Structure 1
Amino acid sequence: MIGRRLLIWAAATLVAAAGLAPVAAADPPRPPAGTPGFSIEQMVAARSIGQAVLAPDRKSIVYTHVGRYWGHPLFPAYGEDSNLFLKRIDSGDTIRLTSGSDATSYPTFSPDGRFISYERQGDIWTVEVANGHTKRLTTNAAADRSAVWSPDGREIAFVSTRWGRPSLYVMPADGERSGLRQVTQPGFTPIYPAWSADGRHLMFTAARDSHFYSRGLYRVPVAGGGEPERITPADDAKNAWPSVSPDGKRVAYISDRSGYLNIWTMNPDGSGQQQVTRAAEDQDYPDNDYIQTMGLRWSPDGKRILYFTNQQGNLRLRTVDVATGRTAIVENRDGSHHPVGWVDDRTVAYVYESYRDIPELYVKPLNGTAKRLTSSTYAVFGADKFDRLESVTWKSDDGVEVHGYLRRPTWAKAGDKLPALVLSHTYNVGQFYNQWSPIFSYLVQSGYTILTVNHRGSNGYGTKFRDLPKGDWGFAQLKDIESAAGYLRERGDVDADRVGMLGYSMGGYMTQLALTARPDLFRMGVAVFGLGEIVGDPQNSSPNYIWHLGGSETEQLARYRNASPVTHVPKLKAPIMIVHSYGDPIEPVTKIHNFTQAMDAHGKRYEVKLYENEAHGLRLLDHQVDSYHRIMAFIDRYLRP
């Protein structure tokens, strides 16, 4: 599907039809200094540590592999590497526990360590650690996930979308055919379930308040039939990740009622609320649960909690003494640390990654030297192959301070004026972290400066900053995108006439809005799984838009239309590329057709690539490779001098 003024590249089309990526020869020639040290194919094929959980005996760790597409976490089809692997901490031995090519995720140990539950094909399975015997516990067409074992190991609770909206269910440990009961009724959308120590209640997180980001912690009798009871204050705060202490007497959780995500504790019935950490930083993620190396980890003696704190996208590993609130640094180097658990009261396990370090498992005595347990490192990803990353801040025209990462090629010399790209992140409250995502380094080392923008609305900077887009969603964030473009153009090492934009998901929406509503801002743009319009479903308006725009589509139609990039297509000047899928449940392909039809009607330049057998993102490796090549060729065409 090609815009009227855009030529079709015959060679690239023929190669793609043959199931291969478009050949580099079709791209504009690059100088030797602009050649990345690794290829797109090598980057996509690389496996890295994803979710990781510590065994109950604390002698081994089970982990999965995970991938990223434009920095967004996905579970790619990695063949036999799409399985559960067990790493012995003392010996370093690795055992593959499952087989098959379907993505395997969210492992959880039974209390006695004999079994591991996990998710595959939308159902819950178990594998017996000693012999690798697997069993499918659920067989429903709906998605079953978030399995957690009862303290005695006899039952498993999980969240399922069967029969309507998500609800909490409990089944015997040998599967739903032996019995299944629904614990919560419609009206609750439970996430992050956890058992009480006595096995009589289940705790979970749910959104029940008027504030869009508010979440409460609830508990409900496991026997079923009871009404969930709220155990955190009804103060519009975001509360999540309940974690029961080893003696069962306290529950730790994350709450932003102080203005930042801090650690709190309470009694199992919600009494005795106490704030443990008091940092003007977020402790833990607010949302992304694609890795299970998150949440709070109690020490075996119940005296301390292992966690991380977010310092402008660097996730530092720390412990806190629950009684005194005194914190201590475990690992403080730049990058992202994800807590796995305590090997003993003086030793912890974690995953570490950075923009040039692939995720790996580590163990470390609190006052000793870290030991790496896994070795998924690839020779091609040497540190010298990556770009230079600098944490920067600037101010938008209205005085709001914005943070991001400025990235330049290592080979760039003083006086080199490079073309540049502004990048916008996924999710409303997403953030660019110092994490493994080599596509960004590939882009930079190809000859571009990029500025990743954590615009207002992003997490990691407190609730006040997060809530700034309320009342002006889309255009509030656009102020920071405009200021980012201005920041780049004022630099002496950027070609001010060759600045473009790229974004995925929420970032794709921001790219489409920036190019249509601010037509002179960028020379080109690439919107990957973006949102071209937010109108068209007045009876089921998104809670996101209702809160941010002050009402439903019926009540605020003018605001909804103004916040839809398709409305501003007549003003579009720069060429735009759209990457999407036929099966995207968030932005239906019909909306993409509406956007391209509007561009056709006004004679705009564009290219669209739609992929089959995908949802909101590309998990098939050949699709990732193909899209990366197409996007690089499009960027080169319009930004390379």
Structure 2
Amino acid sequence: MEFMTLMDKIREQFGVSYTFEISPGETWNRSGDKSILQIFDIETGETKVLKEFDCVIEAPNWSADGTFLTYNSNGRIFKYALATGEVTTIESHYVDNCNNDHVLDPDGSGVYVSHHTKEDGLSRIYKIYFDGREPRLVTPLAPSYLHGITPDGKTLAYCAERNGSYDIYTIPAVGGNETRLTTAFGLNDGPEYDCNGEYIWFNSERSGRMQAFCMKADGSEQTQMTHDLHWNTWFPHISPDRQKVVMVAYTETDVRPGEHVPNKNVELRLMRRALPVEANCSLPADSWSAPQTILKLFGGQGTINVNSWAPDSKRFAFVSYVHGNDSSN
């Protein structure tokens, strides 16, 4: 990994690009993009369109009571009522530059979000409330990108850059001292607790390609869970029943291992447990099936950045995109 990083710096110095690096401006140009909020049913393999948007929306979360989704768009967090299709804005006051890393508080009181603050533009974690009260800062240090919360709502897990290294940290939800869980070279991202709070799923490029990993909640027993030869696997989301993991994957020729960009053809891939739920919750790796592609779509960044499983573990929400005026995607 150190050698690969060195070679990337040399390529940049001499202007040598891979095919997928030729037009980064076009890759990140999302003006005119349309978003399609959808649900995938694991049992039937059917996709249901909930709503189409003439703007970029990202990263749906599914509420614990099953009644609504939350997502981010243009720096704000929104609610989508599943019964009526009504969209409402969650009052967040000055927290108005949220990215696609956010999770719902299990107690139903609000959403923990990652907000780029005005003083330096870096992402910090806040809690915003459904009752409209003032937001609360959780992580003074930045950048911090939220991905997970324990079932009791007491601890958050997030990716943070500290001293040039991106690793996984935890912090009390009320604020306090953060704890570093990973030290492996390269990007470690997407930490997400299982429904018992015993294990954290995450993705890491430590093997040379982005892959799914799992570890105990204290950071021990870090175990590689996927060994995809041709994909860079991001954001493994474990279902509430602990029997399935869905993730987004880029082909090896489309991105560097540490990139999760928009405007790409990606695949949603699924792993299933080979052991009963009473057995060890997440480890070892051989208790899970190899990932299988269940859906191909145009998306990437924003498609499924955070856990979007329904409480019944039979469905999950995701977003696909139509780029600019291109109706073929």
Indicate whether the TM-score tops 0.5: yes
Q: In structure 1, what residue type is equivalent to 2:236?
A: L
Q: Secondary structure at the match of 1:295?
A: strand
**Deviation of residue 182 (structure 1)?**
0.8
**Deviation of residue 332 (structure 1)?**
9.1
Q: Which residue of 2 aligns with 1:279?
A: 227
Q: Kindly tell me: are residues 168 and 159 of structure 1, through their superposed partners in 2, closer, same or farther at Cα, counting changes over 3 Å?
A: same
Q: Please say if 1:269 is aligned against 2:223.
A: no
Q: Which residue of 1 aligns with 2:177?
A: 227
**Deviation of residue 310 (structure 1)?**
5.7
In structure 1, the gaps of 5 or more residues are 1-67, 286-293, 353-358, 361-375, 377-436, 438-618, 625-641
- Of 160-169 and 140-149, the range deviating more from structure 2: 140-149
Q: Secondary structure at the match of 1:72?
A: helix
Q: CA offsets per residue over residues 489-521 of structure 1, 9 Å max, x none?
A: xxxxxxxxxxxxxxxxxxxxxxxxxxxxxxxxx
**Deviation of residue 283 (structure 1)?**
6.1
Q: Kindly tell me: are residues 134 and 85 of structure 1, through their superposed partners in 2, closer, same or farther at Cα, counting changes over 3 Å?
A: farther
Q: Which residue of 1 aligns with 2:279?
A: none
Q: In structure 2, what residue type is equivalent to 1:208?
A: R
The structure where helix makes up a greater share of residues is 1
Q: Which residue of 1 aligns with 2:57?
A: 104
1:251-262 residue pairs with structure 2 within 5 A? 251-262=200-211
**Deviation of residue 158 (structure 1)?**
0.8
- Answer yes or no: is the 8 Å Cα contact 2:63–2:104 preserved in 1: yes
Q: Secondary structure at the match of 2:283?
A: coil
Q: Kindly tell me: are residues 315 and 281 of structure 1, through their superposed partners in 2, closer, same or farther at Cα, counting changes over 3 Å?
A: farther
Q: Which residue of 1 aligns with 2:8?
A: none
Rounded to whole Å, the distance in 2 between the matches of 1:336 and 1:283 is 15
Q: Kindly tell me: are residues 143 and 70 of structure 1, through their superposed partners in 2, closer, same or farther at Cα, counting changes over 3 Å?
A: closer
2:109 equivalent among 138, 141, 154: 154
1:295 equivalent among 235, 254, 261: 235
Q: CA offsets per residue over residues 16-37 of structure 1, 9 Å max, x none?
A: xxxxxxxxxxxxxxxxxxxxxx
Q: Percent identity?
A: 19
Q: Which residue of 1 aligns with 2:269?
A: 317
Q: CA offsets per residue over residues 395-434 of structure 1, 9 Å max, x none?
A: xxxxxxxxxxxxxxxxxxxxxxxxxxxxxxxxxxxxxxxx
Q: CA offsets per residue over residues 543-589 of structure 1, 9 Å max, x none?
A: xxxxxxxxxxxxxxxxxxxxxxxxxxxxxxxxxxxxxxxxxxxxxxx
In structure 2, the gaps of 5 or more residues are 1-22, 254-265, 274-281
Q: Please say if 1:242 is aligned against 2:191.
A: yes
The structure where strand makes up a greater share of residues is 2
Q: In structure 2, what residue type is equivalent to 1:238?
A: L
2:131 equivalent among 174, 186, 206: 174
Q: In structure 2, what residue type is equivalent to 1:317?
A: R
**Aligned Cα root-mean-square deviation (Å):** 4.4
Q: Which residue of 2 aligns with 1:305?
A: 245
Q: CA offsets per residue over residues 448-500 of structure 1, 9 Å max, x none?
A: xxxxxxxxxxxxxxxxxxxxxxxxxxxxxxxxxxxxxxxxxxxxxxxxxxxxx
Rounded to whole Å, the distance in 1 between the matches of 2:82 and 2:35 is 17
Q: In structure 2, what residue type is equivalent to 1:77?
A: G
Q: Kindly tell me: are residues 147 and 316 of structure 1, through their superposed partners in 2, closer, same or farther at Cα, counting changes over 3 Å?
A: closer
Q: Which residue of 2 aligns with 1:124?
A: 77
Rounded to whole Å, the distance in 1 between the matches of 2:248 and 2:124 is 30
1:560-639 residue pairs with structure 2 within 5 A? none
User: How many residue pairs get matched?
Assistant: 272
Q: Kindly tell me: are residues 76 and 248 of structure 1, through their superposed partners in 2, closer, same or farther at Cα, counting changes over 3 Å?
A: same
Rounded to whole Å, the distance in 2 between the matches of 1:298 and 1:118 is 19
Larger Rg: 1
1:215 equivalent among 160, 166, 169: 166
1:241-640 residue pairs with structure 2 within 5 A? 241-270=190-219, 272-277=220-225, 279=227, 281=229, 284-285=232-233, 295-307=235-247, 312-313=252-253, 317=269, 319=271, 321=273, 322-326=282-286, 327-331=289-293
Structure scoring higher RCO (CA < 8 A, sep ≥ 6) equals: 2
Q: Kindly tell me: are residues 329 and 345 of structure 1, through their superposed partners in 2, closer, same or farther at Cα, counting changes over 3 Å?
A: farther
- Answer yes or no: is the 8 Å Cα contact 2:232–2:251 preserved in 1: no
Rounded to whole Å, the distance in 1 between the matches of 2:94 and 2:162 is 27
Q: CA offsets per residue over residues 297-350 of structure 1, 9 Å max, x none?
A: 224442453446666348683526543423435239999898967789997879
- Answer yes or no: is the 8 Å Cα contact 2:189–2:203 preserved in 1: yes
Q: Which residue of 2 aligns with 1:140?
A: 94
- Answer yes or no: is the 8 Å Cα contact 2:310–2:316 preserved in 1: yes
Q: In structure 1, what residue type is equivalent to 2:123?
A: P
Rounded to whole Å, the distance in 1 between the matches of 2:62 and 2:310 is 15
Rounded to whole Å, the distance in 1 between the matches of 2:295 and 2:49 is 27
Q: Please say if 1:191 is aligned against 2:145.
A: yes
Q: In structure 1, what residue type is equivalent to 2:225?
A: T
Q: Kindly tell me: are residues 115 and 348 of structure 1, through their superposed partners in 2, closer, same or farther at Cα, counting changes over 3 Å?
A: closer
